[in-house]
Amino acid sequence: MKPCQPGCYNSFWYLLLPAEKVRYKKYVEKWIALRGENPKKNPDAIFHLGDDPDKRVCWSASGKFPSFRRSMGLLYHVQSNTIVLPKERLAVVGWPTFPSLAIAAGISPFEFPDLRRGSRYAGNAYHIGVYGTWLFV
């Protein structure tokens, strides 16, 4: 991979399997048909390339992050051509895995014990705030 200038991203397109590339193209077609815009222009466009969009769509077209599953494969961020990393998935469900999130929460940054398996911990999980409220009650 070549180094990138600040603000740009290295494309992960070459890492996708042929079947994932076919699914990606189907998602793009469905996105354009539904929203009338190219998903590359939408910073919130995320596709789950493990699901065939002809059978089950798992994407962010509703404006919400796709729901997690424990055995979830690749989530692909369309605008940057990158995959959503385990650390980012954990952040979505409330773990302060980035310093800016920890500062906002008034705590030390959380070092997850095994970030390579972070997606498994985030899958099928409640948001940490919801779980904390439930535990408190």
Average pLDDT over residues 114-132: 67
pTM of the predicted structure, to 2 decimals: 0.78
Least confident of 6-15, 54-63, 101-110: 6-15
For residues 23 and 87, the model is more confident at 23
Kindly report the average pLDDT of the chain as a whole number.
83
Alpha helices per DSSP H over the chain: 18-35, 86-92, 99-105, 118-122, 128-136
- Other CB atoms within a 10 A radius of the CB of residue 131 amount to 13
Average pLDDT over residues 67-89: 84
**Cα 51 → chain centroid:** 14
Q: What pLDDT sits at residue 74? A: 84
- Dist. CA 89–CA 76, nearest whole Å: 12
Output phi, psi for 54, to 5 deg.
-75, -20
Average pLDDT over residues 67-96: 84
Return the DSSP state at 37: S
- Dist. CA 94–CA 30, nearest whole Å: 30
